[in-house]
């Protein structure tokens, strides 16, 4: 099992994804804080921040992590890779903030170590499934 984890997560693709994820996490946290300062409820602020951060994530990951051409089809399917991470992140934020009284600005941050690997696995699956390179191979 350890070898399988190393193979999946200790490579250039995950490192690139992690750097992009780090940038997007900081960006999403900033958007989250702005939303909270505007009076938006913490759970909804978390979702809004993730949706807005998805746009640069798509562009950067398609270019640098997966080396795939961007298309409307991949852009539309890309958010599917976020759904499991969003659900996990939302639940963690709600439990920490409402259940344990963690300040709302820190609750989102705690979800990050779970959110990023889950998103990597889901995104790799989605991008692989809708890859133009894969489609060309199937046609040949």
- Cβ atoms of 116 and 18 within 8 Å: the answer is yes
Within 8 A by CB and 6+ apart from 97, the residues are 42, 43, 103, 104, 107
pTM tops 0.85: no
- Cβ atoms of 73 and 129 within 8 Å: the answer is no
Model pLDDT, residue 107: 83
Model pLDDT, residue 33: 94
Please list the ranges in the chain whose pLDDT falls under 70. 5-6, 8, 131-140
Model pLDDT, residue 116: 77
Within 8 A by CB and 6+ apart from 121, the residues are 8
Supply the mean pLDDT for the chain: 84
Model pLDDT, residue 138: 46
Task: Return the number of other C-beta atoms located less than 10 Å from residue 49's C-beta.
Answer: 25
């Amino acid at each position: 099992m350890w070898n399988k984890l190393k193979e999946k997560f200790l490579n250039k693709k995950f490192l690139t994804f992690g750097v992009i994820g780090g940038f997007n996490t900081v960006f999403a946290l900033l958007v989250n804080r702005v939303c909270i300062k505007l009076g938006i409820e913490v759970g909804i602020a978390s979702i809004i921040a993730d949706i807005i951060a998805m746009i640069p994530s798509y562009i950067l990951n398609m270019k640098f992590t997966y080396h795939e051409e961007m298309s409307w089809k991949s852009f539309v399917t890309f958010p599917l890779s976020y759904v499991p991470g969003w659900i996990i992140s939302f639940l963690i934020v709600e439990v920490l903030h409402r259940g344990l009284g963690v300040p709302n600005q820190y609750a989102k941050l705690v979800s990050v170590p779970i959110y990023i690997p889950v998103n990597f696995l889901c995104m790799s699956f989605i991008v692989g499934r809708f890859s133009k390179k894969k489609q060309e191979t199937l046609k040949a």
